[in-house]
Amino acid sequence: MTYCVGLLLNAGMVLLSDTRTNAGIDNISTYRKMFTFEEPGERVIAILTAGSLSTTQTTIARLEEAINDPDAPSIMTAGTMLNVAEMVGDTLSDVSSKVADKLGSKAQSARASMIVAGQRRDGAPRMFLVYSEGNFIEATSDTPFLQIGEHKYGKPILDRVVKPNTSLAEAQKAALLSMDSTLRSNLSVGLPLDLAVIETDACRVTRQRRIEADDEVYQKMSADWSIALRESFANIEIEGAPGD
Amino acid sequence: MTYCVGLLLNAGMVLLSDTRTNAGIDNISTYRKMFTFEEPGERVIAILTAGSLSTTQTTIARLEEAINDPDAPSIMTAGTMLNVAEMVGDTLSDVSSKVADKLGSKAQSARASMIVAGQRRDGAPRMFLVYSEGNFIEATSDTPFLQIGEHKYGKPILDRVVKPNTSLAEAQKAALLSMDSTLRSNLSVGLPLDLAVIETDACRVTRQRRIEADDEVYQKMSADWSIALRESFANIEIEGAPGD
């Protein structure tokens, strides 16, 4: 499995993905699930992927092929971010169907989903969750984050702290702690992590890092969070008994 | 959906279930999902249910019918808690198959699962998660809790704080906070809640409460936990930047 999360804030977008891929629990590999495309100052797009690796790799390869073909329409030439989401959706749906045809009765495992985030010059930053069928939903100020893969473990912390006016520093912390909860509770999600920050109107990837398993800053944050949670838990006083 | 959790500790067992049942999102009702059976001092059994309401109601009804029939073997006369789990499993599997036959192609929705917890005099407290097919797994000191239904949102807090030597008071708090995270992140799980505590070797239900939506103690705990989480989040300092 996978866990990827994207936060759409006033100050910009924060994207985080894990790298664990497994074909059965005894065949575990590390694959990048974050892909960024940029023409600095003009356009920036990040795509995060979850689901069938054969479907997502082929989809990304096709999108890249189109970018490199001067005659083909591509996500780097599409008129709007909405067109970009449609283009990713159409490609994903097409690849997913073809892989499903080959798999026959195991077609379920050809499914994949993607978070598509980006901004073009003169446009607003936008973020979409594209489903296997090619349809998509968009992040809004009511719901300023999107998740794909093993999304449930890490949702409570996001529900509580992420608002459109959350700063980029706080948002990175929220994304990393959401990932931390998922890593602890689900073996199919694993380090290293890929983190990207796209500041609003920069139209470029402002910051991109790979966080390895031995990253001291991440380890300390994770340990501090464990201690803080345990202390918070210990400090909650139930006065009386619920239900009495 | 549903969220039920059972904790098996040295001091006893803590069981918590929600009550929301839905047939489609526009048909929401309240049904008890916790059933207790006791012959005080001799035997105590608690069953928590998730999944198809028609399957779980019929299964519980059959188990009760057997208890009331002096000639039939029942969970109140079974030799061991393992036999109890097997009896629940066989009944659940049988009912689930019959409901699935009636549903035809919609057979998936006849599935259900149960947590079976209890102790008989001279036996140890044991807790099982029984699947729709009738097979089951047992809680151990390595994994001292079992969950059914929407289990992912509330797992991180349990993973962090529940150990076999956790006290019954702390365990009730952990179960309630695990439920609180689930209630916040998933609309298909809802108040009121049913809470039961079975102390080790008491062979009776030590404490059983219904916690209504307006329960002040629960509301205060939930609000305190929100504040504590937000404060913990605010206090986590990331020194430097992960990945740098």
Q: For residue B62, give both structure tokens.
A: 């059959």
Would you tell me how many other CB atoms lie within 10 Å of the CB of residue A229?
21
Q: For residue A49, give both structure tokens.
A: 């992927």
d(CA A158, CA B39) in angstroms, rounded, equals 46
d(CA A228, CA A226) in angstroms, rounded, equals 5
- Amino acid A186: pLDDT: 85
d(CA B178, CA A172) in angstroms, rounded, equals 25
C-alpha count within 13 angstroms, C-beta hemisphere, residue A170: 20
Dmax (CA) for chain A in angstroms is 72
- Amino acid A106: pLDDT: 67
CATH number at residue B117: 3.60.20.10
Q: Is residue B180 part of a domain?
A: yes
Substitution target from A233, A235, A244 for chain B, most B beta carbons within 10 A: A233
Which residues of B fall within a CB distance of 8 Å from A173? 233, 236, 238
Examine the pLDDT at A241 and tell me if it is beyond 80. Answer: no
Mode of pairing for the β-strands spanning B193-199 and B12-17: antiparallel
CB A3 within 8 A of CB A189: yes
- Reduced to 3 states (helix: H, G, I; strand: E, B; else coil), residue B49 is strand
Sign of CA dihedral B45, B50, B53, B55: negative
Q: Is residue A239 part of a domain?
A: no
Which residues of A fall within a CB distance of 8 Å from B218? 242-243
Residue B37: name the closest of B1, B71, B88 by CA: B88
CA-based nearest residue in chain A for residue B182: A156
Q: Which residues contact B212 (CB under 8 A, 6 or more apart)?
A: A243, B191, B192
Is the minimum CB–CB distance between A244 and chain B shorter than 8 Å?
A: yes
Residue B120: name the closest of B44, B199, B207 by CA: B44
Boundaries of domain holding B208:
3-233
Where do we find the tokens 């499914």? Answer: A111
Q: Is residue A242 part of a domain?
A: no
Q: Which residues contact A96 (CB under 8 A, 6 or more apart)?
A: A52, A55, A59, A110, A111, A112, A132, A133
Sign of CA dihedral B184, A197, A195, A225: negative
Angle at A81 between CA A80 and CA A83, to 5 degrees: 65
d(CA A32, CA A12) in angstroms, rounded, equals 22
Of chain B residues 185-204, which have a CB less than 8 A from chain A? Answer: 185, 195
Shortest alpha-carbon distance between residue A211 and chain B (Å): 4
Is B184 in contact with A239 (Cβ distance < 8 A)?
Answer: no
Q: Which of B236, B243, B244 lies at the smallest CB-CB distance from A173?
A: B236
Q: Which of A185, A215, A243 lies at the smallest CB-CB distance from B243?
A: A215
Residue B131: name the closest of B207, B51, B208, B66 by CA: B51
What are the distances in angstroms from CA A38 to CA A138, A233, B151? Answer: 21, 44, 40
d(CA B69, CA B63) in angstroms, rounded, equals 10
A48-68: average pLDDT: 95
Q: What is the pLDDT of residues B58-91, one digit of tens each?
A: 999 999 999 999 999 999 999 999 999 999 999 9
Is B238 in contact with A155 (Cβ distance < 8 A)?
Answer: no
Where residue A237 falls among pLDDT bands split at 50, 70, 90? confident
Q: Which of A174, A212, A242 lies at the smallest CB-CB distance from B209?
A: A242
Q: Which of B153, B174, B228 lies at the smallest CB-CB distance from A156?
A: B153
Of chain B residues 139-158, which have a CB less than 8 A from chain A? Answer: 150, 152-153, 155-157
Examine the pLDDT at A60 and tell me if it is beyond 80. Answer: yes
d(CA A225, CA A227) in angstroms, rounded, equals 5
Angle at B32 between CA B56 and CA B70, to 5 degrees: 60
- In which element (H, E) is residue B114 found? strand B112-120
Which residues of B fall within a CB distance of 8 Å from A229? 157, 160-161, 229, 232
Is the minimum CB–CB distance between B25 and chain A shorter than 8 Å?
A: no
Is the minimum CB–CB distance between B29 and chain A shorter than 8 Å?
A: no
Substitution target from A238, A239, A244 for chain B, most B beta carbons within 10 A: A238
Is B209 in contact with A159 (Cβ distance < 8 A)?
Answer: no
Examine the pLDDT at B57 and tell me if it is beyond 90. Answer: yes
Is the minimum CB–CB distance between A240 and chain B shorter than 8 Å?
A: yes
Angle at A225 between CA A221 and CA A228, to 5 degrees: 135
Examine the pLDDT at A47 and tell me if it is beyond 90. Answer: yes
Is B233 in contact with A152 (Cβ distance < 8 A)?
Answer: no
Q: For residue B204, give both structure tokens.
A: 């009776």
CA-based nearest residue in chain A for residue B161: A230
CA-based nearest residue in chain B for residue A237: B221
Domain total for chain A?
A: 1
Is the minimum CB–CB distance between A214 and chain B shorter than 8 Å?
A: no
CA-based nearest residue in chain B for residue A222: B236
Q: What is the pLDDT of residues B19-47, one digit of tens each?
A: 988 776 677 788 999 999 999 999 999 99
CB B84 within 8 A of CB B44: no
d(CA A163, CA A14) in angstroms, rounded, equals 13
Query: Which DSSP string corresponds to A30-58?
Result: E---EEEEEETTTEEEEEEEEE-HHHHHH
Where do we find the tokens 């096709």? Answer: A62
Is B185 in contact with A152 (Cβ distance < 8 A)?
Answer: yes
Shortest alpha-carbon distance between residue B211 and chain A (Å): 4
Q: Is residue B239 part of a domain?
A: no
Q: Which residues contact B61 (CB under 8 A, 6 or more apart)?
A: none
Q: Is residue B238 part of a domain?
A: no
Q: Is residue B33 part of a domain?
A: yes
Which residues of B fall within a CB distance of 8 Å from A32? none
Examine the pLDDT at B108 and tell me if it is beyond 70. Answer: no
Q: Is residue B69 part of a domain?
A: yes
Q: Is residue A103 part of a domain?
A: yes
Which residues of A fall within a CB distance of 8 Å from B150? 152
Interface ipTM: 0.83
CA A16 to chain centre: 5
Q: What is the pLDDT of residues B131-172, one digit of tens each?
A: 999 999 999 999 899 999 999 999 999 999 999 999 999 999
Q: What is the pLDDT of residues A104-159, one digit of tens each?
A: 766 668 899 999 999 999 999 999 999 999 999 999 999 899 999 999 999 999 99
CB A18 within 8 A of CB A191: yes
- Amino acid A25: pLDDT: 64
Percentage above 70 pLDDT, chain A? 96
- Reduced to 3 states (helix: H, G, I; strand: E, B; else coil), residue B189 is coil
